[in-house]
Structure 1
């Protein structure tokens, strides 16, 4: 009998450790960029050259071969003077080729389109302040190209953002191209707070009986009380001295 109790106790401890480990290993949230539209009517690079260097015509316009546009999104710490090089300390995502000179993602503003959505997960307490660099590039099989030779446009946006469902719209215009996109920050499931660092996972088992509100605060289920909602509320009239219960609404 004693051995069975010891084994049961060890099993419960193991389950608790696995639960805590799973919560720690999950990322705490993600930064989302949803592309809405790109307008590059002339099909040019930031340098003024044509995306297709061999497609220029005598009148100075670019040929029919359009840019092969892909995006590089860099998220880093807030910088007063932004350095476009260096490490993307909060995360980096690079898309495949998703369009030509001018294109748009219909329904993106209403949240009904996943194409053009770029998600950067993070596994740290969100600092609120950030720098976002969204770059449009021309894909070229010429391996001799280097530096910013194939850069179409670069949008730099920085500030403060808190988690939420609402999206912020950013529109960057230049003499070369216009890029429009939305941004938002969201906590992962079971993570709460302005830094996505409050963990609350609803449960109804040996370790507690509670649900979580929008702020990540625990609320005991009906029939339970205590810090972890592990204490059953006994049947009304149950003696506080001689009565006890393991199941709500009972008394022994």
Structure 2
């Protein structure tokens, strides 16, 4: 039975990945900060899908938490989903530097280190996959959040090219606005976001895993966001920034 480790696994896209992979008979390792919520999620998944579920409470913005998850990844996983992330409601440079550094540690350092921890075992077994959750924001200029997600996209493409083995897949998943707790936790006002731009987490995960199976290195779920990204490459950067500022991250 294959094993998947998912960070940020108790809500939003992480929980959707857990449900989908459990339905596909993966054993799960769920990583999140909230130990009680992890236990609740694990119990529900075991009851519904009959799979093995391991929980690992850890804060990936701390050295101790990141080291603990690295150690578990080195024990062997078939699929690593680097999903944990957060946003700021403030704009650069008003956000405190310490908060910006926490974001970079989670979005960049954790993705780098967990990927490096997973790859030796995958190369030895000659199979495996890594999904690094980025964002459509990666293709637009919007503060440290979009900059960190742009790094995730570039890193994922570069790592996949450097590994050069089609049996080991590395992909950046770049969703748009998804109905999750993300914006509420960040204190962001989403009232101005048009309804047609919202996606369902389960749909994003389904399309992302399909693209992973197809060997894509970057996945932008939904034709609406594929169109937005394509158009964004055609308009001046200044106009991109204006639209992004008006609509939100």
TM-score (norm 2): 0.23
| Structure with greater helix share of residues | 2
The structure with the greater share of residues assigned to strand is 1
Query: When the two structures are superposed, what TM-score results if normalisation uses the length of structure 1?
Result: 0.23
